[in-house]
Amino acid sequence: MNAIFKRKSIRKFLDKEIEDEKIGRLLKAGMQAPSAMNTQPWEFIVVKDKKSIEIIENMSKYSKPAKTSNCCIITLFNEKYFAYANYRWFNQDMSACTENILLQAVEEDLGAVWLGTYPDMDRVNYLKEHFNIPENVYPFSVIVLGYPKEDYAGTDRFDESRIHYESY
């Protein structure tokens, strides 16, 4: 639970490259996520080129944390992996995948922030256009990564008043 309680959205990073081994472990963590019917609908684009990161920075007014990042991961869901035509569980699958990457970032002494992408179709189409993403593949989230500019510790968010037993 250490990573869970330490995790925090980090938006400012040092100008320091992330080692390929760490990126590999982040992707492994993402692929270890649970998925409905073991569908595993995920794919990833690892973005390290500064011009490509600038494209992510300009995706929306909320994607400015990418400016100081040296690496972003675009999580994608690919419809070809769906178990059946009306598969509805990709949001849960991809959220678990994204959260696994965020938690592994803490284990790697990295900072990260989740940029919401899907279901905002303006953002989805922007990324599809700029990163040559095929028709049946959709960007779900962008994870902005880097070595944090400042030390951080998570905040205890436990609130007993939100817990109900047996019924509301």
Cut 0.85: pTM above it: yes
Burial 129-163 (b: 16+ CB within 10 A, else e): eebebeeebbbbbbbbbbbbeeeeeeeeeeeeeee
> What is the tens place of the pLDDT at every residue in 102-133?
999 999 999 999 999 999 999 999 999 999 99
Sheet holding 137-146, edge to edge: 42-47, 71-78, 137-146, 111-116
Instruction: Examine the pLDDT at 151 and tell me if it is beyond 90.
Output: no
pLDDT at 84: 81
Helix (H) or strand (E) holding 25: helix 20-31
Q: What percent of the chain has pLDDT over 90?
A: 88
* Average pLDDT along the chain: 95
